[in-house]
Amino acid sequence: DIQMTQSPSSLSASVGDRVTITCRASQGINNYLAWFQQKPGKAPKSLIYAASSLQSGVPSKFSGSGSGTDFTLTISSLQPEDFATYYCQQYNTYPITFGQGTRLEIK
Amino acid sequence: EVQLVESGGGLVQPGGSLRLSCAASGFTFSTYSLNWVRQAPGKGLEWVSYISSSSSIIYYADSVKGRFTISRDNAKNSLYLQMNSLRDEDTAVYYCARDSQFDRGVYYYYGLDVWGQGTTVTVSS
């Protein structure tokens, strides 16, 4: 199975900050990488697919990049509603696997 | 409105069975592949199973293989997960999630773009 490792596991930031979350795959996954946002008690929300394609309706403050094994999610100008847990997910090979999550907290 | 609504969760004893359902609306259900994804209390997301639009391709996570069965009824716009021989570690919120679309010979992929609200399964004696 392909292991997905996110860093950091948790992150404190302030409103207005720009943050970057990294996701590393244990083997190459081309650009078959997605990012999700999840708030407590809610279902995950799709942000990005194909490493850098923004899901319909998602604001452009979210951006993704990378290919192969290393990927990043960048969130610019953090707002209170952005504080949540973020997951990466590979879909190059079954079983689909997720990163362990990055909890983004208000400083 | 595009929507997935899960149901069927509940409390079950170890070794018991449960059948989850996911009702779809607002899109052409028969052209989309679907997944079940679960989340144990306080833990991350774990993919469980996948089924293609025509049910011709099915995958399972090793943790549920031989115990869970995914199926769909395109006439009823519904996805199912039959869970047998349940274990404590199957306790989780179970989500259905929309996957790729295969329509008139063309494949479209926008990620797991639509999720249900989840249904809670608790395995405990």
Q: How far is CA B31 from the centre of its chain?
A: 16
CA distance B104 to chain A (A): 22
In whole angstroms, give the CA distance from residue B14 to residue B121. 12
From chain B, the residues in CB contact with A44 under 8 A are: 37, 45, 95, 97, 112, 115
Contact B117/A at CB under 8 A = yes
Contact B118 A46 (CB under 8 A): no
What digits encode the pLDDT tens for the residues B75-97?
999 999 999 999 999 999 999 99
Contact A58/B at CB under 8 A = no
pLDDT of residue B103: 85
In whole angstroms, give the CA distance from residue B4 to residue B112. 12
In whole angstroms, give the CA distance from residue B48 to residue B13. 20
CA distance B14 to chain A (A): 25
Contact B47 A55 (CB under 8 A): no
pLDDT of residue B105: 87
Q: Is pLDDT of B21 > 90? A: yes
What digits encode the pLDDT tens for the residues A40-85?
999 999 999 999 999 999 999 999 999 999 999 999 999 999 999 9
What digits encode the pLDDT tens for the residues A22-42?
999 999 999 999 999 999 999
Contact A91/B at CB under 8 A = yes
Mean residue pLDDT across chain A: 97
From chain A, the residues in CB contact with B114 under 8 A are: 46
In whole angstroms, give the CA distance from residue A48 to residue A103. 17
CA distances from B7 to A7, A32, A55, A106, B94 (A): 34, 30, 27, 34, 9
Q: How many CB pairs under 8 A join A and B?
A: 60
What digits encode the pLDDT tens for the residues B30-64?
999 999 999 999 999 999 999 999 999 999 999 99
The full DSSP string for B76-95 is: TTEEEEEE-S--GGG-EEEE
Count Cα neighbours of A39 within 13 Å in the Cβ-side half-sphere.
7
Q: Which of B115, B12, B41, B103 is nearest to A44 (CA)?
A: B115
Mean residue pLDDT across chain B: 97
Mutation for testing the B interface, residue in A35, A46, A52 having most B CBs under 10 Å: A46
Q: Is pLDDT of B68 > 90? A: yes
Phi, psi of B90 (to 5 degrees): -85, -5
pLDDT of residue B107: 86
In whole angstroms, give the CA distance from residue B83 to residue B8. 11
Q: How far is CA A100 from the centre of its chain?
A: 11
